[in-house]
Amino acid sequence: MNFEIRKMKEEDLDQIEKIEKIVFPFGGWQKHQYQYEITTNPVSLPYVLTDGENIIGYYSIWQMFDYMTIATIAVNPDFQGQGFGNVLMMDIIQRSKSLNMKSIDLEVRVSNKTAIRLYEKFGFKHSHIRKGYYTNGEDAYFMIKNLRSDQDEFNFSN
């Protein structure tokens, strides 16, 4: 099977909306928010990982001055556990480095242990907690990865 990472298109939004409802049942993004990312948001870089037919995963990153923010990232549940989260994270890091970003940051639910392990594997460090960050009142970890270190900090032993 061949895979490619490409810019997100409006034709992708129906599949993304279905994935979003499963992956983020407590408040994922709406279709119109992705439409805004694609068509209007000047800092947004939205991408999909696809096999040509299915959206396997996707992300949107925001280029903010000299750092990148991961606004959203998800893997289709049908493809989870197969390393596609790693593929998306490697692409985000490479894309950020190619744009000379100093760091990448993100927020993640404190209960999302799978995502936290993924981010830690790629060298993200816990910075602080954002109390009541999500609409249901759940806290978020704010995590950051420095891109200016001499070598990448990938820890695949987890």
Q: Give the separation between CA 46 and CA 33, rounded to whole angstroms.
A: 11
Q: Give the separation between CA 33 and CA 31, rounded to whole angstroms.
A: 5
Q: What are the start-end ranges of the H helices in 24-83?
A: 31-39
34 counts as catalytic: no
Contact status, residue 130 vs residue 138, Cβ threshold 8 Å: no
Residue with tokens 């970003």: 101
153 counts as catalytic: no
Find the catalytic residue in 34, 59, 119, 141: 119
Find the catalytic residue in 17, 107, 120, 138: 107
Task: Tell which residue, 100, 11, 112, 105, has the closest CA to residue 58.
Answer: 11
Catalytic (active-site) positions? 107, 119
